[in-house]
Amino acid sequence: MTNPTPERSCWCGYQTLFPYSDDYRVCKACGTLVSRAPVANTADQASHETGLYSHDYWHRRQREHHGLPDIEARARLDLPERCTYWLQHLLQAKLPPARVLELGCAHGGYLSLLGWAGFSSIGTEMSPQVVEFARKTFCVDVRLGTVEAQGFKTESFDVIVLNDVLEHLEEPLSTIQHCASLLKPDGLFVVQTPEYKEHLTYTDLSAAQDLFLRHMVNNNEEHLYLFSRRSVGELFRRLGFASVAFGNPVYSYDMFFTASRTPLRQNSPEAIWNSLSKRPEGRLIQALLDKAYESNDRWWAIQRFQKDRP
């Protein structure tokens, strides 16, 4: 007779969870959706040909399950969109030279942009094939396995990036606590993750055909914790990162924020240009940023127009 698989508890430690949907329960203490999927015994092991975060995940599963381009296409498509947008926000908070660690760096395109901008960057991934793909495609430094397994020195990074990673962590408090030890005293977390809006019920989401549902339906084996603004604030403040500033996300169903132990500063466009213009590659980065600003302004203008329509 096998032992029953234990239910996943909330990262915050609160034991009482309430039904939310077939795939999730909700922690009302902190405002997190908690997956009903069985607790994995191998979440910290690197994946190979099949399984989550494997070669298969980045090819067949992206196309057939998520309806997204595979890693080959994403390596091209993400550069002028997501990667440039992320870099734009990072430069507003931290200028090169600085040392950046990206957890779950996928194809490595963002690491490449960071390098061209003058940052020193390292990434991690869980599949040997994906690590090799990133190294060959963008000539970037990518390590295999979890961040805890890498042996990085304490206080050795200026920035740690988690883009579409936080929701996948089996033990987010433990992993973020470890990452916090790797940051210098004035270091930053820069995070993108799906945003659970606490005021919306599952019925509300379904009635509106909300795009957030794509993170929930048939996805709870990947998305283990779906955070609200309240819960990510609690997570990072619990670890000493009292300054949490939210920015506009790339997509409306996400949230994008920066967390710091000290008050956050905002670098001016002039300061960013002065930093980037010192390198030929930096001038290329500035050209990409200029186009990104133009596209972002147009997109948010459309959003405001649609919101104000009668």
Q: Could you tell me if residue 75 is inside a domain? A: yes
Per-residue pLDDT, 218: 87
Instruction: Decide: 36 and 25 in contact? Cβ < 8 Å.
Output: yes
Instruction: Decide: 110 and 83 in contact? Cβ < 8 Å.
Output: yes
Q: Could you tell me if residue 18 is inside a domain? A: no
Residues 6+ apart with CB under 8 A from 160: 100, 101, 102, 103, 179, 182, 183, 187, 188, 189, 190
Q: Could you tell me if residue 64 is inside a domain? A: yes
The CATH number of the domain holding residue 106 is 3.40.50.150
Per-residue pLDDT of the chain (310 residues; tens, 9 = 90+): 444 557 899 999 999 999 999 999 999 999 999 999 988 755 455 555 556 676 677 667 667 666 778 888 999 999 988 999 999 999 999 999 999 999 999 999 999 999 999 999 999 999 999 999 999 999 999 999 999 999 999 999 999 999 999 999 999 999 999 999 999 999 999 999 999 999 999 999 999 999 999 999 989 999 999 999 999 999 999 999 999 999 999 889 999 999 999 999 999 999 999 999 999 999 999 998 998 877 665 544 445 544 555 5
Per-residue pLDDT, 287: 92
What three-state secondary structure class fits 100?
A: strand
Instruction: Decide: 129 and 187 in contact? Cβ < 8 Å.
Output: no
What's the predicted TM-score (pTM) here? Answer: 0.90
Q: Could you tell me if residue 238 is inside a domain? A: no
Q: Could you tell me if residue 239 is inside a domain? A: no
Q: Could you tell me if residue 2 is inside a domain? A: no
Per-residue pLDDT, 61: 67
**Number of compact structural domains in the chain:** 1
Q: Could you tell me if residue 67 is inside a domain? A: yes
Q: Nearest 5°: CA angle at 294, between 284 and 80?
A: 45
Per-residue pLDDT, 66: 66
Per-residue pLDDT, 195: 98
Task: Report residue 258 CA to chain centroid gap.
Answer: 11
Q: Could you tell me if residue 138 is inside a domain? A: yes
The parent domain of residue 93 ranges over: 47-197+249-308
Per-residue pLDDT, 182: 99
Give dist(CA 152, CA 148) in Å, integer: 8
